[in-house]
Amino acid sequence: MRNQFKSHMMELINGLWFLKRDIVSDEYDQALFRLIADIKDQTVSAGNAHVKIHEYPTGEQCWTWQVPEKWTCHKAYLETLDGQRLIDYTHHPLHVISYSLPFDGIVSRDELLEHLHVHPKHPEAIPFLFKYYDRDWGLCASQVLRDKLDEERYRVVIQTSFEPGTLKVGEVIIPGETDESFMLVAHLCHPAMANDDLTGVVVGLEVARSLMTDLKSYYTYRLLILPETIGSVAYLSHNEDLIPKMVGGLFLEMLGNDSNHALQGSFQVDSQVDRCLVSTLKQLDPESYVAPYRMVINNDERQFNAPGVRVPMLSLSRVLRHNSPNWPYPEYHSSLDTPDIISTSRLEESKNYVLELIQAWENNQYIVNKFKGEIFCSGYGIWIDYRTNPEGHQRLFEIMELCDGEHTVADIATKLDISFQAVWQVISLLLEKSLVYLSRTPQSTTPSRSQNS
C-alpha cells in the first residue's frame, strides 16, 4: 500500500514533478516560486524565520564557474519523411537533451543514431541526459523505439533558445540563538522526475516547517533549494562571509523510493557533525548504512566540502549500495522516476529522522564533570547492577569516564561505538543529578591541562 494517507509532501510532488525544471528555465522558476509561496505564510507567523530568493544573472562569475543561459525548448520532434511522428517533446520533456542546441534538417539513420540516446538498462524508459556545457543537439527515446528505426532518412526538428536569464536559489532561514549555521540543501532541477530530487526538497521544507514551530534552536538553520552544482557554487561564491559560520550540513536527496537510508560522511570524517549524525542514525534506522565521502552518491555536498570552503556536509538518501546492480535506484535518471515510485510513509520517515538528527546536533555539547574521581553511583541512585545488566553497567562506567570536559556526546558515542541516544540517556541522568554540565566549547577539568590552557 503506497500513499495510504494524504500528505502535503506528496501533494507538492504531484503538482510539480512534470514541470520542465531545467537548471535555468521558466518552469524551474515556477516550481521554486510555488514552493516558496507555500512556506512563506508560515515564516510570517513563526516570527523571525524568513525566505529569500537569490538571483544570479547569466554570465555571472561564480568562482571558476559561470551562470549559464536560460534554456527553453519550444518544440521538438522526430518524423519519418512521410510525416509519421515518432518522438514529440510535448509527450515527455525527457525526449530532448537538457540544453540541446537547436537543429532542423533531414539526417541519415546513422547520423540520427549518434544523437539519439537510450537508457542502458530499461528498454521502455526514456533516459535523462544533459549537456549544459558541452554543446550538441540530441534526442532521447526508449530502446524499443530505437530498435524500430529502419528507414534511411529522418526529419529532426529541435527548436530551442538560449537567452539571458537568472539562476535562482531559494533560501529558508530559521534563526537560532547563534548565527552559526547548519545547512540543509536539496536540488530542484531535473525535468519531469520525482525522486531525484523533489523528494529531498519537500522533506527539507517539512523539516523547516517543524523547526519553525517546534524547536527553540541554538543553531541557525538555512535550507537551500537550488539547481544542482551551479546553484551551490553560485550561492557559496556570493555569500563567502557566511562560510566561516557554517558549522555543518546535510544534503537531502532521493528519499521517497523503497530502500533503507544511506548516510554519506563528509570530507572531514572526524568532524563533530559526522560523529553526531553517524552515531544517531545507527539507532534510528538499524537497516541503514554509512559510507565515506563520495562513496554513496556525488551531489551538491561536494561544493560545501571542497577546498576553500570545507564545510562538513553529509548526505542522506535512500541510495542502494555501490555494488548493487540497480545503484543508485532502478528508475534513476529516467522517465520511470515518477511519483509512483515514491511512498508517503518513506517521506514521513525520512522527515522524522532528519528532525531527530537535528535534535541530536542541538544536544551535542561537551560534557563537563562537576565531580572528581569515580562517582559513588549507588549513593546517587544511578548504579546499574552488573549481575542483571552487565552491558549497561560497563557502559555507564565507560561513559562517565569520558565526562572530562574534553569530549562531546558524539565523541563518546564514537569512541565507545554505541549510539548517540544511549550516551545521551546517561548524560541526561547525570544532568538531572547535577553531576555534569554542558558546554559548547571544551572545558578540560584535568588539572595539568587546564593549567596549560
Are residues 393 and 446 in contact, defined by beta-carbon separation less than 8 angstroms? Answer: no
Task: Name which of 197 and 404 has its Cβ closer to Zn ion.
Answer: 197
How many residues bind Zn ion (CB under 5 A)? The answer is 1
Helix (H) or strand (E) holding 262: strand 262-264
What span, in angstroms and rounded, lies between the C-alpha atoms of 122 and 127? 9
CB of 365 to Zn ion, least distance (A): 37
State the minimum distance, in angstroms, from the CB of residue 371 to Zn ion. 52
Q: Nearest to residue 257, comparing CAs of 190, 298, 196?
A: 196
Grid cell 535518471 is found at 333
Backbone angles phi, psi at 121, to 5 degrees: -120, -30
Closest residue to Zn ion using C-beta atoms: 196
CB half-sphere exposure, 430, CA atoms < 13 A? 28
Closest contact distance (angstroms) between CB of 321 and Zn ion is 18
Task: CB nearer to Zn ion: give 196 or 300.
Answer: 196
Shortest distance (Å) from residue 263 CB to Zn ion: 19
Give the three cell numbers for residue 19: 514541470
Find the binding residues for Zn ion in span 87-126 (CB under 5 A).
Answer: none
Q: What is the rounded distance in angstroms from the CA atom of residue 88 to the CA atom of residue 74?
A: 11
Rule CB under 5 A: which of 388-407 touch Zn ion? none
Q: Residue 230, SS3?
A: helix
Q: Rounded to the nearest 10 degrees, what angle do helices 344-363 and 8-16 cross at?
A: 120
Smallest separation, CB 24 to Zn ion (Å): 16
Q: Are 365 and 359 in contact (CB under 8 A)?
A: no
Closest approach of Cβ 404 to Zn ion, in Å?
A: 45
Residue range at the interface with Zn ion (CB under 5 A); choices 47-55, 170-178, 191-199, 426-434: 191-199
The least CB distance from residue 313 to Zn ion, in Å, is 17
Query: In the complex with Zn ion, which residue's Cβ is closer, 129 or 169?
Result: 129
Of 118 and 278, CB closest to Zn ion: 118
Cα–Cα distance between 230 and 253 in angstroms, integer?
17
Q: Which stretch binds Zn ion (CB under 5 A): 78-86, 130-138, 164-172, 195-203?
A: 195-203
Interface mask (CB under 5 A) for Zn ion, residues 270-289, using x and -?
--------------------
Q: Name which of 196 and 331 has its Cβ closer to Zn ion.
A: 196
For residue 328, cis peptide bond before it (omega within 30 degrees of 0): yes
Residue 294: left (phi > 0), alpha (psi -120 to 50), or beta? Answer: left
Smallest distance from the beta carbon of 169 to Zn ion, in angstroms?
A: 17
Taking CB under 5 A as the binding criterion, the range among 47-55, 68-76, 163-171, 188-196 that sits at the site for Zn ion is: 188-196
Q: How far is the CB of 269 from Zn ion (least distance, A)?
A: 25
State yes or no: residue 171 binds Zn ion (CB under 5 A): no
Site string for Zn ion, 300-329 (x = CB under 5 A): ------------------------------
Smallest distance, Zn ion to C-beta of residue 187, A: 8
- Please tell me the distance from the alpha carbon of residue 115 to that of residue 135, in angstroms, as a whole number: 12
C-beta of 196 vs 301, nearer to Zn ion: 196
Find the part of the chain contacting Zn ion (CB under 5 A) among 116-124, 192-200, 264-272, 443-451: 192-200
The nearer residue to Zn ion, 171 or 196, going by C-beta atoms, is 196
> Looking only at Cα atoms, what is the longest distance across the chain?
93
Please, which residue, 196 or 411, has the CB nearer to Zn ion? 196
Nearest CA among 213, 282, 221 for reference residue 252: 221
Binding Zn ion (rule: CB under 5 A), the pick from 29, 171, 196, 253 is 196
Distance (Å, whole) CA 389 – CA 398 = 14
- The smaller minimum CB distance to Zn ion, of residues 312 and 328, is found at 328
How near is the Cβ of 134 to Zn ion at its closest, in Å? 17
Question: Amino acid identity of 389?
Answer: N
Query: Which range, of 20-28, 112-120, 189-197, 315-323, touches Zn ion by CB under 5 A?
Result: 189-197
Instruction: Return the residue matching grid coordinates 520525482.
Output: 194
176 vs 231 by CB, closer to Zn ion: 231
Q: Which are the contacts of 221, defined by CB distance < 8 A and separation ≥ 6?
A: 173, 174, 176, 181, 182, 184, 208, 211, 358
Q: Say if residues 172 and 49 touch (Cβ distance below 8 Å).
A: yes
Indicate the residue among 221 and 251 with the shorter CB distance to Zn ion.
251
Contact between 191 and 98 (Cβ < 8 Å): yes
Q: 203 or 212, CB closer to Zn ion? A: 203
Q: Smallest distance, Å, CB 196 to Zn ion?
A: 4
Q: Which are the contacts of 410, defined by CB distance < 8 A and separation ≥ 6?
A: 272, 275, 276, 279, 360, 364, 420
* Site residues, Zn ion (CB under 5 A): 196
